[in-house]
Every structure is written in structure tokens, then in C-alpha cells.
């Protein structure tokens, strides 16, 4: 099967008008190894390109039968600290020791139902999203009785655990919210390092006032205090996390001109042949980029850009809608904060939306450039291998891979597997690697596949809904050199939460310089002769010692003038790589003197 790739049109609606742009990714190959893979839970066929599966650890036995389907025991999002992987689940959470990525081991398994169980970690605190009505304050598994009937034991909101002892996590706070917490985002601030803010995004119905006094629902015209059309801002005193509390519920969807709190997409279709986009009265995910003071909200019917320099009072800078998007789901910035990718979770993640009959702009990514704090649409990207009717598949969670000089993302597509694509040129994203299994069942759709896939300290980790945890490693190819992979591995993080995006930086290292050289020779902006000359000078410098170090530094410095000339003649993308290469060589040469 080959997807019916048709020209796709995006209408990016901005505050001052409408901009219509036509774009699409490169067409798929005539044949793809991912098509027609054998079905099975443990013995499914596999297809991989430029990546290797190193390890898999199944879900713990007390976390449900994977063949039962549904989401009651589904694995959800991932977080990382040091050599520990934290895996959320609708039934609780599990901790894994990943010190040896090829031999991961289960460290702790904690039942604590309430879905969807997304996790984040900050120091010795673990945060967990709870939205379903069966969540209890005490983490019990006995449920809370009939929904709609108030129950003081019911919990929907954000749990906070002390994980000083990883083997015995201890709940220290449980912040109740009106719509629960489908996801959450950590918002640290340098202005007040003793406080952590958490943005809670609830997507379920509003709780009865009899159950939680601060809650009331209804349309804004009938109830100006409605819990709809807002997010929750939770303040966590880090020395006393038990005092965590909601400090604001900002109206980030309001019309700033009229003050109407329902100021963005009202819901419905954008015209004939378009998607029916959801009403913007909630955010599904908010990705915060603390170092830049920005956040990107994937908010049902809109993608929004926020100024979060004052975390308690975020301000919307821009909003876009798209006639191909059913439900704006998640967002990822590039490292410079000059681009943002939004995903569309058409079908809710439990439906087959990557069939050969599905449009390539539906259930896909939309890639925007950020220009003067406004988002400008550039292209779509969707998994280019058709999946079957028994495989739930649509765009889902991913992260950047820290290759210097390039914008590369690894992304989950549920039973579509994972795809790695380069969006350095925002107008033409290109897939460079993938991993996929066949469906869990060939006869019926059993929900499974990757919920999230993230790069962390040299490896890619996948939360597989039904099959457990996967560990994968990139392999060099015509798209990605060993130098580029080695340079990415130089970026070390002590913690990683995808919804609190870190700024990545690379040392002035020979391997980083070689990565830039590989990129420039690949694009033919740099001649092979020039690349060989730089490589030789770097090798000489690495081997130098004593008095020869100064001479090696001088030899490197003499290369700069030629590189500056080349940069002036290069296209804008390669010119930036030249400048980064010059900076890296200059910095490395300085260490030799």
C-alpha cells in the first residue's frame, strides 16, 4: 500500500488576517519495508532503517494483559533523571534503571490509578497527571463509585511524590483541579528558584461544585467563572511541596480586544472538505521553553505561542488554526526557538489514521517558523508508510535529537512505530530513520504502539503502550554521520521532561567541528578538499602536546579566513553552519594555547 499523497493546503489564521500556503513533504518511496509486517504481540515483524533496537522490557505482570486492549493499563509518558527512567501508566507508574541501556531493569512498580499518568521529575520530586474519575486521593485501586456523584476520596489533578528514596516514593501533595490533569508542564524560573510552577492542562468535564468548591462549568455567556477556557497554574514551594496550590487560572484563549474569554476557534469545520476542529476551551499539551521565556500550547482548535516570562500570568503572543487539524495535541520547539512543530491527534490516538486512504496533512505535524513572535506555516510531515486498519496510528510525542547544526526530531506514531526526520529546512522535512513493528493483531485493533519516544543521553527510549519499554540506538547513514551521532552524545542531561524543553549546547570539541564539516560536504557547500584539510588539522591538534600545541592552534586559526569567505557564499542554512564551525574551531584552538 502507498499513501495517496496529494497536495495539501494549510491556512494559518493569525490575528491580523489569513495566510494561505501550499506545501508538502517529499513523497514516499515506491516500496517501504514497514508495509505488510507480520502481526503479533511478542513476535511481530520488524523494520528498521538507520537505527537498532537494543533492548525491550515488557510491562510488569500486575499492569494488565496487553492483549486486553483499551487504556486502563496503557503505558503513557516518560521522564528521566540521572540513570532512572520514569514511565507513567493509566494504572500507576514504574521506575527503570537504565545505567546500562542494553540491560535495563525494573526498579519499582507502583499501582496508583487515575490516568493518564504522565510524569515529570524535578530534583527529588515526581509529578503525575490524574484525570479519570477512578483516581483516589490515597492512590487506592478500589475506585470512587459512580461518576457524577460527589466523593471526597476522588482525586483529579496533579500528584506530587517525594522520590528521595527511589524504591519507596511517597506522596506529599495532591492538588485538586476542576478538569483533572490530562498533562502538565514544569515551569522553573530563575527569578525565584525556590518555587516551581506547574501548568496543568485538563481536558475532561468540569467537576461538580459539591465535590470541589472552586469548580463550575457552563458557557462563558452564562457563567463568567466557568472552569472552561483556562489552564491551572500550580505553585510548588520546593522546600515545602506539601503546600502546593493553584495560584491562577489564566484566560489564555481570551480575545484581548474585547475581553471575551472564548476568543479563539469556536469549533467546527473550516469549510468544505476540511477537518472539524475542536473548540478551543482547553490545552492538551503545553511545551515550555524556560530559557527563552516561551511556551507553545497545543490547544484543541488552535496552536498558540505564549510569553511565560511571568509564569503565573502567561500572555498569548499568537494563535494559528489549520483546516487539516482535528485536535492540536502537542508541540516541540527547535533548539534555537525559531521553529515550532505542532501535532494533530486526529482520532484520539486509538484509531487507524495512517491508512493509504488518509490524507497526508490529516493526523500529521505542521511545521511553523517563528518570525517576530508570530508563527508562519511552512510544511506538513506525516509518517510516509501506510499502516493497516488494525493499527492505531497518528502523530504523537517526540523530542529533538541534539545534532549540532540541524533540527532533527524523533517522534512516536503509536503502531506506526517511530520516525526520525530532519526539519532544518522547514519547507521540506525529510525522514532519515525509522523503526516499526507489525500490528498487535491482524484481526482486530488492539491499542498499542509508541506513546512517546525521546532521546536521552545517547539513546532513544520508547514507551510502548502494550509491549513495555524499548531502547534504541542510531546508526550512521548517508543522512547522518558517525561524527554527528557522536556530537549528539556529548549533550548530557541530568533530567529530561519533554514538556519543559531544555536549551542544548555543545562543547568546542573536534567531533563537533567534524559534524559541521560532514554536513557542509554533504550539502556540497564545502568542497571535499576543504573538508579533508580541516579534518587533518583537527587530527594534528588532537595529537599535539607540549610546544606543538601552539602550532596546531595557529594552523586551525589560519583556516578561519577561508571559512568566513565560504560562509558569505553559502545559502542561509549552510551559512549558519559555517558560523558555528568557525566558533567551534576558534574555541577549541583557544584551549590549545
User: Which grid coordinates belong to 437?
Assistant: 513493528
If you average pLDDT over residues 169-194, what whole number do you get? Answer: 96
User: Which grid coordinates belong to 361?
Assistant: 496533512
pLDDT of residue 126: 98
User: Does residue 2 have a pLDDT over 70?
Assistant: no
Q: Among 22-31, 348-357, 554-563, which is the least confidently predicted range?
A: 22-31
pLDDT of residue 27: 66
Residue 511 phi, psi (nearest 5): -65, -35
Q: Look at the alpha carbons of 272, 278, 283, 285 in this order and tell me if their dihedral is positive or negative.
A: negative
E strands, 229-284, are 232-237, 245-248, 268-269, 276-277
Measured distance CA(466)–CA(66) in Å, rounded: 5
Write out pLDDT tens, residues 524-573: 999 999 999 999 999 999 999 999 999 999 999 999 999 999 999 999 99
| Enclosing H/E stretch for 541 | helix 528-543
pLDDT range class, residue 13, cuts 50, 70, 90? very low
Inter-CA distances, 359 with 9, 62, 353, 429, 509, Å: 11, 39, 9, 17, 44
Write out pLDDT tens, residues 247-278: 999 999 999 999 999 999 999 999 999 999 99
Strand 245-248, strand 157-162: pairing:
unpaired
User: Which grid coordinates belong to 85?
Assistant: 527512567
Quick one: DSSP state of residue 560?
A: H
Compute the C-alpha angle 31/37/38, nearest 5°.
155
pLDDT of residue 495: 98
User: Does residue 400 have a pLDDT over 70?
Assistant: yes
Q: Which residues have C-beta within 8 Å of that of residue 188, sequence separation ≥ 6?
A: 122, 196, 197, 290, 500
If you average pLDDT over residues 117-121, what whole number do you get? Answer: 98
Write out pLDDT tens, residues 204-214: 999 999 999 99
pLDDT range class, residue 147, cuts 50, 70, 90? confident
| Enclosing H/E stretch for 485 | helix 482-489
pLDDT range class, residue 70, cuts 50, 70, 90? confident
pLDDT of residue 146: 84
**413: number of CA atoms within 13 Å, CB side?**
32
**142: number of CA atoms within 13 Å, CB side?**
4
pLDDT of residue 360: 95
pLDDT range class, residue 6, cuts 50, 70, 90? very low
In 3D space, the residue among 93, 89, 64, 211 whose CA is nearest the CA of residue 145 turns out to be 211
E strands, 181-275, are 183-188, 195-201, 232-237, 245-248, 268-269
69 vs 355, residue with greater confidence: 355
Inter-CA distances, 201 with 182, 281, 308, Å: 6, 11, 15
Write out pLDDT tens, residues 275-292: 999 999 999 999 999 999
Mean model confidence pLDDT for the chain: 94
pLDDT of residue 26: 64
pLDDT range class, residue 12, cuts 50, 70, 90? very low
pLDDT of residue 388: 97
If you average pLDDT over residues 109-117, what whole number do you get? Answer: 95
Residue 116 phi, psi (nearest 5): -90, 0
If you average pLDDT over residues 381-408, what whole number do you get? Answer: 98
If you average pLDDT over residues 453-460, what whole number do you get? Answer: 98
User: Does residue 90 have a pLDDT over 90?
Assistant: yes
Measured distance CA(325)–CA(348) in Å, rounded: 12
User: Does residue 156 have a pLDDT over 90?
Assistant: yes
pLDDT of residue 358: 96
Given phi > 0 = left and psi -120 to 50 = alpha, else beta, which region is 95?
Answer: beta
pTM: 0.95
Inter-CA distances, 202 with 157, 165, 249, Å: 8, 30, 12
pLDDT range class, residue 24, cuts 50, 70, 90? low
pLDDT of residue 28: 67
Strand 51-57's sheet: what is its strand order? 51-57, 468-474, 459-464, 450-456
Compute the C-alpha angle 523/525/528, nearest 5°.
90
Write out pLDDT tens, residues 303-337: 999 999 999 999 999 999 999 999 999 999 999 99
Inter-CA distances, 516 with 198, 568, 593, Å: 37, 16, 23
Query: Could you identify the residue written with the cell 480586544?
Result: 257
CB 101 within 8 Å of CB 110: no
User: Does residue 8 have a pLDDT over 50?
Assistant: no
pLDDT of residue 418: 98
User: Does residue 11 have a pLDDT over 60?
Assistant: no
Q: Which residues have C-beta within 8 Å of that of residue 443, sequence separation ≥ 6?
A: 390
If you average pLDDT over residues 236-244, what whole number do you get? Answer: 98
If you average pLDDT over residues 197-201, what whole number do you get? Answer: 98
Measured distance CA(542)–CA(545) in Å, rounded: 8
In 3D space, the residue among 472, 560, 459, 515 whose CA is nearest the CA of residue 80 turns out to be 459
Amino acid at each position: 500500500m502507498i499513501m495517496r499523497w496529494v497536495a495539501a493546503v494549510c491556512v494559518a489564521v493569525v490575528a491580523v488576517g489569513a495566510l494561505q500556503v501550499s506545501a508538502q513533504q517529499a513523497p514516499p518511496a515506491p516500496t517501504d519495508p514497514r508495509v505488510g509486517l507480520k502481526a503479533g504481540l511478542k513476535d511481530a515483524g520488524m523494520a528498521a532503517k538507520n537505527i537498532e533496537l537494543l533492548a525491550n522490557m515488557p510491562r510488569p505482570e500486575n499492569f494488565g494483559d496487553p492483549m486486553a486492549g483499551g487504556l486502563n493499563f496503557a503505558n503513557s509518558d516518560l521522564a528521566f533523571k540521572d540513570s532512572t527512567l520514569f514511565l507513567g501508566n493509566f494504572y500507576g507508574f514504574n521506575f527503570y534503571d537504565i545505567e546500562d541501556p542494553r540491560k535495563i531493569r525494573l526498579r519499582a512498580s507502583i499501582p496508583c490509578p487515575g490516568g493518564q499518568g504522565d510524569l515529570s521529575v524535578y530534583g527529588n520530586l515526581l509529578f503525575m497527571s490524574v484525570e479519570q474519575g477512578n483516581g483516589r486521593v490515597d492512590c487506592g485501586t478500589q475506585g470512587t463509585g459512580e461518576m457524577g456523584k460527589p466523593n471526597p476520596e476522588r482525586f483529579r489533578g496533579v500528584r506530587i511524590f517525594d522520590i528521595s528514596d527511589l524504591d519507596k516514593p511517597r506522596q506529599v501533595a495532591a492538588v485538586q483541579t476542576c478538569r483533572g490533569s490530562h498533562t502538565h508542564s514544569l515551569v522553573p524560573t530563575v527569578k525565584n528558584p525556590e518555587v516551581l510552577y506547574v501548568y496543568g492542562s485538563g481536558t475532561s468535564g468540569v467537576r461538580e461544585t459539591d465535590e470541589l468548591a472552586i469548580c463550575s462549568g457552563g458557557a462563558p455567556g452564562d457563567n463568567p467563572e466557568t472552569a472552561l477556557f483556562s489552564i491551572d497554574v500550580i505553585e510548588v514551594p520546593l522546600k515545602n511541596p506539601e503546600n502546593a496550590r493553584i495560584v491562577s487560572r489564566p484566560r489564555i484563549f481570551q480575545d484581548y480586544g474585547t475581553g471575551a474569554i472564548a476568543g479563539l476557534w469556536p469549533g467546527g469545520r473550516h469549510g468544505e472538505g476540511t477537518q472539524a476542529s475542536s473548540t478551543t476551551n482547553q490545552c492538551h499539551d503545553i511545551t515550555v521553553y524556560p530559557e527563552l521565556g516561551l511556551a507553545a500550547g497545543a490547544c484543541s482548535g488552535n496552536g498558540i505561542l505564549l510569553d511565560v516570562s511571568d509564569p503565573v500570568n502567561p500572555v498569548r503572543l499568537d494563535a494559528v488554526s489549520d483546516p487539516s487539524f482535528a485536535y492540536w495535541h502537542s508541540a516541540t520547539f527547535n533548539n534555537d526557538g525559531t521553529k515550532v512543530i505542532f501535532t494533530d491527534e486526529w482520532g484520539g490516538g486509538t484509531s487507524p489514521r495512517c491508512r493509504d486512504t488518509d490524507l497526508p496533512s490529516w493526523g500529521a505535524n505542521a511545521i511553523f517558523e517563528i518570525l517576530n513572535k508570530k508563527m508562519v506555516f511552512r510544511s506538513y510531515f506525516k509518517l510516509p508508510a501506510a499502516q493497516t486498519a488494525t493499527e492505531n496510528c497518528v502523530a504523537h510525542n517526540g523530542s529533538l535529537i541534539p545534532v549540532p547544526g540541524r533540527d532533527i526530531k524523533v517522534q512516536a506514531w503509536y503502531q506506526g512505530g517511530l520516525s526520525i526526520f530532519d526539519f532544518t529546512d522547514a519547507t521540506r522535512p525529510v525522514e532519515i530513520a525509522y523503526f516499526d513493528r507489525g500490528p498487535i493483531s491482524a484481526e482486530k485493533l488492539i491499542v498499542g504502539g509508541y506513546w512517546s519516544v525521546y532521546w536521552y543521553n545517547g539513546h532513544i527510549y520508547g514507551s510502548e503502550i502494550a509491549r513495555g519499554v524499548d531502547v534504541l540506538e542510531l546508526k550512521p547513514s548517508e543522512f547522518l554521520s558517525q561524527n554527528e551521532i557522536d556530537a549528539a552524545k556529548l549533550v548530557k542531561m541530568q533530567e529530561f521532561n519533554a514538556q519543559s524543553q531544555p536549551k542544548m549546547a555543545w562543547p568546542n570539541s573536534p567531533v563537533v567541528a567534524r559534524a559541521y564539516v560532514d554536513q557542509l560536504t554533504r550539502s556540497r557547500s564545502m568542497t571535499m578538499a576543504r573538508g579533508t584539510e580541516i579534518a587533518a588539522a583537527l587530527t594534528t591538534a588532537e595529537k599535539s602536546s607540549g610546544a606543538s600545541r601552539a602550532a596546531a592552534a595557529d594552523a586551525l586559526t589560519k583556516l578561519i579566513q577561508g571559512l568566513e569567505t565560504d560562509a558569505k557564499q553559502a545559502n542561509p542554512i549552510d551559512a549558519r553552519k559555517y558560523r558555528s564551525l568557525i566558533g567551534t574551531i576558534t574555541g577549541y584552538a583557544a584551549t590549545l594555547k
